[in-house]
Structure 1
Amino acid sequence: MSGPIDHVGLQARLQPTRLAAVDLASGRRWTYAELDADVAACARVLVERGVALGDRIVSLARNRVDLVILHLACARIGAVYAPLNWRLSPAEILALVEDADPRLVVGDQELDRVELEGLSLDHLAAEIAAAEPLAAAPFDRGRPSLILYTSGTSGRPKGVVLSERNLDHTAINFGRLGRVTHQSAFLIDAPMFHVLGLVTTVRPPLLHGGAILVSDGFEPARTLARLSDPDLAVSHYFCVPQMAQALRHHPDLAPERLAGLTAIFTGGAPHAAADIRAWLAIGVPVVDGFGMSETGTVFGMPVDPAQIDARAGSVGVALPGVRSRIVDAAGRDCPDGQPGELLLKGDNVFSGYWRRPDDTAGAFTADGWFRTGDIARADAEGFHWLVDRKKDMFISGGENVYPAEIEAALADHPGIAECAVLGLPDPRWGEVGHLILVPRPGAVVSHAAVVAHLEHRLARYKLPKATTIVDSLPRTGSGKIQKAVLKALILERTPA
């Protein structure tokens, strides 16, 4: 049986000469016919190197188109691709390599940094160029093709096992929400060990026959220049909120030069309504959404400035293929507006955690709903708001307090660059809020000034009882604040 076996193979037949990918660091370009041929040749290389069904291929490298080729080739032969976070320490990376138990390790200079033996991506590219393409053959899109390791904000990273069918649904869901077409061009800055960089910004354009423009990393000035470049004609840019904030505050920002963008799309962390409206005020739509490594794209806001403004801070609506519930501690469905834990079901949801059966069992309810660990609320029209991570919520004097609500209320404070709120033990109230903030250059921010900013916006029990000023907040490779690290730091400084 012959025929196109994946989206790249299909586009290679429908529009073989159309631009599919650009590697911005090297300048190399691929049409769909060329990209399809390289994926098929890479599949041949892997098979000849002894890679078989179910084997893992680990990569440790900065962004480049070769990583997309490698992942798609793994899918075609039934291997499982496992990209690792190069921002981790050598010991952490080696622990993940041991966990993945790979048949083959590939990478760039990051291999040398952690003293890990493997095949260089340059050597792999040379082998691909010399190889005969492996003949196309249909395959089961339900079998695993990817392991994404979670950020590990609350412990050892877990490997999320995803199939091509799971990834297809992110391509479909984001494509619908983000107005993706064959004319779309996605600039990819997000690291390709993360769902944003490898899935959300790669699969939708390849499904629709658009182009991916792969950058080797985020640099605000360079990113702004690329977003403004009429020759690149970037239509979609996806980033985490702190990347968007760095762009908005950069002196090179010229909003009128971003008119070609469908929108800047954000996810991966809460995005404050004040920051979203600040983008709208300069004529750039910022479309927030929600997804996870375990689920891909789940919710998204409309690409419509009026609707974004009316519900700034919302992560939007679910797609028809995604089922969602918000439940209380007893598992009962919450009424509109009441916060509860977000549960999800659908073909987008992962099958389990790699070699972690207990974690997998604990992640699902008895009737198959995935427990996201996120507290959310929804209105009668189906728009969702993320309230906080369940594990970050604390109880002060019997009242639930969500740190993300406090952090959002501080987003427009002129002296605060970024901040985080923790719940810390207190003999009187059980727990109280502790604010950790990074001031803007030259700003002096006191605890009293913070309280004055918040006291007319939030109930008194939500106000932080202390403030600590730091130079920076610790983050994971995907940009999430490491609150466990912050909590250990503050407790260490607090006298017993």
Structure 2
Amino acid sequence: MGPMLDGCTPWPEEFVDRYWAAGHWRGNSLDNLLRGWALQYGPRTALVHDGTRITYAALNRRVGRMAAGFRLRGLRPGQRVVVQLPNVPEFVVTVFALMRAGAVPVFCPLSHRASEVSPLVRVTQAVGYVGPAAHDGFDHIAMAAEIAAEGPFLRRVFPLEAPGTSSPYGGFTTDPSGCHYFPLGSLDSPPDQALAVSADQVAFFLPSAGAAGAAGAPALVPRTHNDYAYQARAAAERVSLTEDDVYLAALPAESNFAFGCPGIIGTLSVGGTVVLAESADPAACLAAVEREGVTLTSLLPDDARRWLDVLPTVRADVSSLRLVQVGGAPLARATAERIGPALGCRLQRVSGTTEGPLTLTGPGDPQERVLGTQGRPLSPDDEIRIVDADGKDVPDGEPGELLARGPYIPRGHYKAPERDARAFTADGYLRTGRLARRTADGDLVVT
């Protein structure tokens, strides 16, 4: 096992050996996987956004050309780059291009402003920022310039400009703080020799939804190529995903739920099609379901309720849907009971945090299990404990705090030893902070 990024906690050797032996970890970087998918599914449609359709072969080609562009603009292996983009094809291309260039993307919610993005840059020492020039009336480039002026790290900003707009920076210019601006669309160079990236390295950072740490430092969850490829593949298997599936990414692409549960990565891994929606707006999404023959999507409970409320008035044909995943917050039973009959598909309950563990019901599970539980852990090697206030295991049926460790559950946050001393037990179980109980059948009910 190669050295992980400084500030990250590796899995202990015995667990590394166990996860390799079980075939969960396979030593392939996400970028290597994309190359394989491009060979396997080349002419199939990988991404759809409004009128844009991109094949697997074209996606891989664009990633190679953008990666070369990043390297020509001075990006070095191991450097961190904040990615703050809406659900557009450039999000997927940029994340893979950064990985292919050996850089580490730091996923950042689009709603974050300087007060949240600045600490993210500081903690990760990010040298680059990729974001929209402006979005919903907010000037992201002015924010990036302000952050660049504050500190020594951020030196390259790659704005995604709306088609037909002229760059306020006239393309390649430098501001007084020495920060350079390169439109994202200008990163298009003949691909060079790709770097060999070790699959036990950090592939990207996900922002934790948990509370911020000392002095408001953001909690970042490092995900390795091995563990994330496994998570997406296992989730794809749990929902029997095939190349005929069409996944609607209605939640933010940078969320763990939409990116890899199975989400974008899981869908690409089987040769399916990802439809990118810039919001979970019911009318636009339901129209996209009809237009693209969407078979699978993931929603928060509030979104699901809004879809159900709007469905009778928009009269979209949603007969292609076979499965709707709902998670991210408690789902009211009344809403859960409406989903199947109204949308004509199965409901899948998904529960989990960015850190893990993921529990999911199965598409073939009996109705009562789907309505009344959060299902079972994603991996057969997920170790789940439910403990009382003294850390002692409680009997099945009794509520307690959910603890977990497993092949896609990181052993620590990035550069947060004090937080991790509280967040993990001495033997590496994550304290989820969630109350749960285990049923006699082995399902989890998160209370």
Q: TM-score, normalising length from structure 2?
A: 0.79
Residue from 115, 119, 132 that aligns with 2:143: 115
Question: Structure 1 4/56 Cα, relative in aligned 2: closer, same or farther at 3 Å?
Answer: closer
How many residues of Structure 1 are paired with residues of Structure 2 in the alignment?
379
Structure with larger RCO (C-alpha < 8 A, sep 6+): 2
Partner residue, 1:262? 322
1:314-338: per-residue Cα shift (whole Å, max 9, x none)? 1111231322221222222221111
Instruction: Give the unaligned 5+ runs of structure 2.
Output: 1-27, 146-156, 162-181
| Paired residue secondary structure (1:258) | coil
Contact kept? 1:78, 1:143, Cα under 8 Å: no
The AA in structure 1 aligned to 2:236 is G
Partners of 2:186 and 2:49 lie apart in 1 by: 18
Partners of 1:143 and 1:370 lie apart in 2 by: 20
The AA in structure 1 aligned to 2:160 is L
Q: TM-score, normalising length from structure 1?
A: 0.71
Give the number of the structure whose alpha-carbon radius of gyration is greater. 1
1:190-223: per-residue Cα shift (whole Å, max 9, x none)? 1133222333321111111111111122211111
Deviation (angstroms), 1:138: 4.1
Question: Structure 1 280/168 Cα, relative in aligned 2: closer, same or farther at 3 Å?
Answer: same
Which consecutive aligned stretches of 4+ in structure 1 deviate over 6 angstroms post-superposition?
Answer: none
Partner residue, 2:25? none
| Paired residue secondary structure (2:401) | strand
Partners of 1:153 and 1:367 lie apart in 2 by: 23
Question: Structure 1 256/112 Cα, relative in aligned 2: closer, same or farther at 3 Å?
Answer: closer
The AA in structure 2 aligned to 1:288 is R
Partner residue, 1:7? 33
Deviation (angstroms), 1:40: 1.6
1:337-369: per-residue Cα shift (whole Å, max 9, x none)? 111111111120124222212112322111111
Partners of 2:193 and 2:293 lie apart in 1 by: 34
Question: Structure 1 135/124 Cα, relative in aligned 2: closer, same or farther at 3 Å?
Answer: farther
Partner residue, 2:274? 212
Partner residue, 1:170? 231
Residue from 182, 206, 231 that aligns with 1:148: 206
Partner residue, 1:274? 334
Residue from 373, 376, 381 that aligns with 1:317: 376
User: Which aligned pairs between 1:273-312 and structure 2 lie closer than 5 A?
Assistant: 273-282=333-342, 283-295=344-356, 298-304=358-364, 307-312=366-371
Partner residue, 2:386? 326
Partner residue, 1:433? none
| Paired residue secondary structure (1:105) | strand
Deviation (angstroms), 1:97: 2.7
Contact kept? 1:15, 1:32, Cα under 8 Å: yes
User: Which aligned pairs between 1:1-150 and structure 2 lie closer than 5 A?
Assistant: 6-24=32-50, 27-108=51-132, 109-110=134-135, 112-113=139-140, 115-117=143-145, 118-122=157-161, 124-128=183-187, 130-150=188-208
Contact kept? 1:162, 1:351, Cα under 8 Å: no
Contact kept? 2:247, 2:267, Cα under 8 Å: yes
1:462-486: per-residue Cα shift (whole Å, max 9, x none)? xxxxxxxxxxxxxxxxxxxxxxxxx
The AA in structure 1 aligned to 2:229 is D
Partner residue, 2:439? 379
1:379-401: per-residue Cα shift (whole Å, max 9, x none)? 122211101xxxxxxxxxxxxxx
1:9-48: per-residue Cα shift (whole Å, max 9, x none)? 1111112111111222xx2221111111111222212222
Instruction: Give the unaligned 5+ runs of structure 1.
Output: 388-496
Deviation (angstroms), 1:135: 3.1
Contact kept? 1:58, 1:104, Cα under 8 Å: yes
Deviation (angstroms), 1:255: 8.2
Partners of 2:212 and 2:127 lie apart in 1 by: 29
Contact kept? 2:252, 2:279, Cα under 8 Å: yes
